[in-house]
Amino acid sequence: MGINDEREIKLTTDRLILREFNENDFVAVHAYASDIENIKYMIWGPNSEDDTVEFLVECIENANKNPRKQYDFAVTLKDTGNVIGGCGIYLNDTLDEAMLGWVLHKNYWKKGYMTEVGKELVRFAFEELKLHRLYATCDAENYGSYRVMENIGMRREGHAIKNRKVVGYKDEYHDELFYGILKEEWNEKQNK
């Protein structure tokens, strides 16, 4: 687990490898990013082909920035290398707090993959990036996402009413849930 010597970051879990995106990931990324069912709770998409190309270009450019504020990873199956989703850590301007995000192709939902991803993102953020706090948000109807947040040790910090305009529901606003975890809370859970 951790950072490779070549500067490219690769994180591993029991079943997954989280690696940096590259231009060869277009087909797999577009498969989940262009499917309305897959992204119905997101504030972006569904992606056109140009949107997906732009996303991949931005990920590659962000990986080379110094200081680096965005860490986007392709979620790949360890045994096949197939890309099944994406995730990321997005740092604030003071580089001590970050937002977590993830998306998974619907064919891989309800298999525990995102909990594995989330736990590794939290570990990386606190141990290697030395962050103070992490947070994440989701549509209040997105049970899968908020269960991941709870499973990785985050606590619900808030519930905003009709705060989030969601792509899958034209001109509708949904409630948004806010979750967070501090480094000391995570450390305490690791020592149990």
Instruction: Write out the DSSP string of 95-163.
Output: SSEEEEEEEE-GGGTTSSHHHHHHHHHHHIIIIIS--SEEEEEEETT-HHHHHHHHHTT-EEEEEEEEE
Residue 116 belongs to a domain: yes
CB 153 within 8 A of CB 122: yes
User: Each residue of 61-120: pLDDT tens digit?
Assistant: 999 999 999 999 999 999 999 999 999 999 999 999 999 999 999 999 999 999 999 999
Q: Which pair of structure tokens corresponds to residue 14?
A: 């029991």
**Rg, Å, the chain Cα set:** 16
Q: How far is CA 16 from the centre of its chain?
A: 14
Question: Is 173 within the bounds of a domain?
Answer: yes
Retrieve residue 85's tokens: 């989703």
Mean pLDDT value of segment 46-61: 96
CA–CA separation, 26 vs 2, rounded Å? 25
In the 8-state DSSP scheme, what is residue 189? H
Whole-angstrom Cα distance, residue 122 to residue 38?
Answer: 24
The pLDDT value recorded for residue 3 is: 39
135 falls within a domain: yes
* Residue 186 structural domain: 10-191
Give pLDDT, residue 183.
97
Q: How far apart are CA 10 and CA 8, in angstroms?
A: 7
Residue 42 domain flag: yes
Asked, for residue 3, whether it belongs to a domain, the answer is: no
Total domains in the fold of the chain: 1
Residues of the chain with pLDDT > 70, as a percent, come to: 94
Amino acid identity of residue 44, one-letter, is W
The CATH number for 89's domain is 3.40.630.30
H helix or E strand, kind and range, residue 173? strand 173-182
Q: How far apart are CA 121 and CA 128, in angstroms?
A: 10
Q: Is residue 130 part of a domain?
A: yes
pLDDT at 171 over 90: no
pLDDT bucket at 14, cuts 50 / 70 / 90 = very high
Domain membership flag for residue 5: no
Mean pLDDT, residues 49-61: 96
Residue 2 lies in a domain: no
Strand partners, 179: 136, 156
